[in-house]
Amino acid sequence: MAQASELSLEDAVAQSPRKWVYLFSEGNAGMKDLLGGKGAGVAEMTNAGMPVPPGFTITTEACNEYYTAGKRFPDGMWQQALAALRQVEAQTGKTFGDAKNPLLVSVRSGAKFSMPGMMDTVLNLGLNDETVKGIIALSGDERFAYDAYRRFVQMFSKIVLDTKADEFEKIIERYKEETHAQTDADIPSDALKHMVEDFKQTARDASGRDFPEDPVEQLRLAIEAVFASWNNKRAIDYRNINKIPHDLGTAVNVQTMVFGNMGNDSATGVAFTRNPSTGERKLYGDYLVNAQGEDVVAGIRNTSPIDHMQEEAPAVYQQFHEIANRLEEHYRDVQDMEFTIEKGRLYMLQTRTAKRTAAAAVKIAVDMANEGVISRDEAVQRVEPQQVVQRLLPRFDEQDVQAARAANRLLARGVNASPGAAVGKAIFDADRAEAAGKAGERVILTRVETSPDDVHGMYASQGILTSRGGTGSHAAVVARGAGLPAVVGCEAIRVDYEQRQFRVSGTDTVVREGDELSIDGATGEVFQGALKTVEADFEHDTDLQTLLAWADERRDLGVWANADYPRDADRSVAFGAEGIGLCRTEHMFMEQERLPVVQEMILAETPEKRQAALDQLLPFQRSDFEGIFRAMRDPKTGAGYPVVIRLIDPPLHEFLPSYEELLVEVTRLEDKGDNPDELAKKRELLGRVAQMREANPMLGLRGCRLGLLFPEINVMQTRAILEAAVNVAKEGMRPQPKIMIPLVGHVNELREVRRQLEAVAEEIASEAGGQVEYKFGTMIELPRAALTAGQIAEVADFFSFGTNDLTQTTFGMSRDDAEGKFLLQYVEGLPEPGLKEPVKILKVNPFQTLDRDGVGRLVRIAVEEGKRTKPNLEVGICGEHGGDPDSIAFCDEVGLNYVSCSPFRVPVARLAAAQAALARKASQKQAERDK
């Protein structure tokens, strides 16, 4: 081996500050942090006696140290790598760089968390003009040798020498045309030999340097390239999207090459122990005969389903099937496996926990629990809350689908790679797709095949359509992980990037950029135009219902919903809500038939006129609350659920026309001069609106302040709530109204408002001839309220944290202004001249995920002080954070009684609350063991 270390691995490690390199035989599945998912997986398979080509892994710590040292290998790492390579030589009987019996290796990335296609890989490393002769002599197949050589030069040049991939594709297409080859596999050996030289010249022209012939130099450069790929743009974008920390680093796996491109008894493929799209318990995947791994992932050729291997290579299929079963049984989860067949012999290259769709995730978790593979606790923890969101996404209306087929709008069928219904404009470039997505347009990214460089456009799209590729292709893997509908391998479409269009084979149909498409990732169908979508059938989704029932048994937090109308309440109960945590009464005022009466009430010049308007509103409000109380009952027992109703909160001018619009209208009437009566009315209204204008309405006359100055409004609403409760109670129900007084900053505000409203409650109880059940509480949405919660708890029966306003007042920012002007830049990063990475002020948007250090600290203080004053104080949260899994975990940690969120987020909150409780209890048990 040229320039090889003569040290053993043990000696090389002894002379280094740390062990940077592990042979596959030295690792195990529990070493993901150090060896990455891929390295830990091959180590585990090696130690289980499976057919794994020998190799070694350079640790994630080495990657991080590489960056710390200014992009230099850490001390001793290179010597350890060369020493490990000597041991691989001994295991294989081959020598790296030897002209007669050369060892060739692959160099692959492998982070702790799977990042499919985001980082770099080099195959066939070690080839040069001399070692290729040894491969020819050993294999007796010149074509195979030069096919491997051209692949190596192509891949190495693209990744290490920064040569554009398109340049190589143009050369390949030219040779196919000259040799009349249908596919890459048909190009003869003489042409491949010349292609290698053309590739090298292309790399030389692009990089300004000769292609390296020394295999050791090739290895050094490839390892550096893999380290560097940890911080390429697509990898950073992927980590940002999937919330993967940026400081984990990637491992590097150096593994003996085995070849799937040695003829028709060789193949390569990707398979899953269960279907990652549907969850069906059946071996699933595809493979390519006479190909290498990147052909499958890149989608360069269309693949064969794994089932076909039963017919083409039954013995190999049986061995693979047995290994797949062993791996799933060993890891107790669905495995994503890469394999190669070389001259009829099976080799396992990788196993990792499989990415899966939302539908598959739920089914697999429930099935594995029912099969006894995992516990129900594990099943609940296996499904990500975001996957529940995806499970509830819409599908195409069946009648519209049938009509589209009848109208010949079904353009083509491809591989159903990731389920879901997507409608959008066909866009043929990832950059344009991203721009259109950011502009609010619906996009279907349409490509021949996708590559890691397309990821930003994929995530901005509603769905993905490719003309090449299979279920293991880049497009399919990324789409499943992102929950995007995808149809791949759609051979009937002929994509033309230059013309920005595709043609449908055998027809005159042309779809141009901007034309609407509908793709069905469950069936693989592609339709022209937009199809109607329908909501998911949550009620009859037995797997999801089963999982959520298990979650309900394990959570401590109640899950309530924010609902303003009876229809919202019905939907909330259907999704599993156990109460309403926020009913905003002001939304009821905005309906068309009521708004004129509300405006009349606001503009009333005397208390009598105001009361007359309120008397008209009372029956509307009472009817609304009756509908909500009737809807909020346990579907099994009929018992009433609690309903928290917030008294009017926004400033009154929000119910009037805007000052600017009125000013324009008055000016217009003045200019025309033909309608003096209307002008007089508009001038009067303009004057009243001007009087009510505030410099900062969010902190102005609203909430309890409004109720203190205009108590008759609160009195009317309280009467409507309690009269509705009395009426519904007469029907045999037992409603649980909870009246919430908003924007309290001082205990005296709450004390006075409650005094006024208790008098109303006593009056209604007297009229009803008995006790009316109710509670009075407050919304904690101001920092002072949180800091004086012990005092406020003396007067309140319950707290509900309004974390949207609490976040605004704690950060001192208006959400609408901040998100539109600077907040997203705080999260995504501020460009800073001279720095490679943008400066990030905040890790997450605090209006989406609760700020634990600031807002969360106020919540914790309020809970602790409130319960110290009143131990049975009920405490919940009703801001948008009530549906965010990370925020729900915090609520569980600080001891809240419930979270409340939008109806659609209720299933997510049920699962997240169970996962939070399980994690907390596991942490408590571990702490007890550590004592």
Provide the 3-class DSSP secondary structure of residue 684.
helix
Tell the residue number behind the tokens 């456009």, with chain if given.
457
Q: Is 483 helix (H, G, I), strand (E, B) or coil?
A: coil
SS (H, E, C) 235-272: HHHHHHHHCCCCCCCEEEEEEECCCCCCCCCCEEEEEE
Tokens (6 digits) for 752: 């006075």
- Residue 629 tokens read as 């109380």
Check if 474 is active-site. Answer: yes
For residue 403, give the nearest of 535, 529, 534 by alpha carbon: 529
Nearest to 564 by CA among 533, 531, 586, 592: 586
Tokens 């600077």 correspond to: 822
Pairing state between β 345-353 and 335-342? antiparallel
| Helical residues (DSSP H) of 15-130, grouped into ranges | 32-47, 60-68, 77-92
Q: Is 144 left (phi over 0), alpha (psi -120 to 50) or beta?
A: alpha
Which of 490, 583, 704, 878 is labelled catalytic? 878
- Asked if 852 and 892 count as a contact pair (C-beta separation under 8 A), the reply is no
Number of H helices, E strands in the chain: 38, 33
**CA pair distance 454, 431, nearest whole angstrom:** 8
**Cβ–Cβ under 8 Å, residues 568 and 903:** yes
Which amino acid belongs to residue 609? K
722's CB contacts (< 8 A; 6+ apart) are 737, 760, 761, 764, 772, 774
CA distance 181 to 735: 77
d(CA 869, CA 128): 79
**Got the DSSP string for 521-590?**
TTTTEEEESPPPEE---GGG-HHHHHHHHHHHHH--SEEEEE-SSHHHHHHHHHTT--SEEEEEHHHHHT
Burial tier of 852 (Cβ tally within 10 Å: 0-12, 13-18, 19+)? middle
**Amino acid at site 205:** D
How many alpha carbons fall within 13 Å on the CB side of residue 167?
19
Q: How far apart are CA 882 and CA 893, in angstroms?
A: 14
Spatial distance between the Cα atoms of 289 and 268, rounded to a whole number of angstroms? 7
Beta-sheet pairing, 105-111 with 516-520: unpaired
CA distances (Å), origin 814, targets 696, 805, 821: 10, 9, 10
Tell me the C-alpha distance between 652 and 156, whole Å: 67
Q: Any bridge partners for residue 103, and if so which?
A: 96
Q: Which of 63, 474, 583, 653 is catalytic?
A: 474
Rounded to the nearest 5 degrees, what angle is found at the Cα of 449, between the Cα atoms of 264 and 407?
105
Q: How far are the Cα atoms of 169, 547, 845, 885, 910 from residue 850, in angstroms, in the given order?
A: 48, 26, 8, 10, 18
Catalytically active residues, by annotation: 474, 878
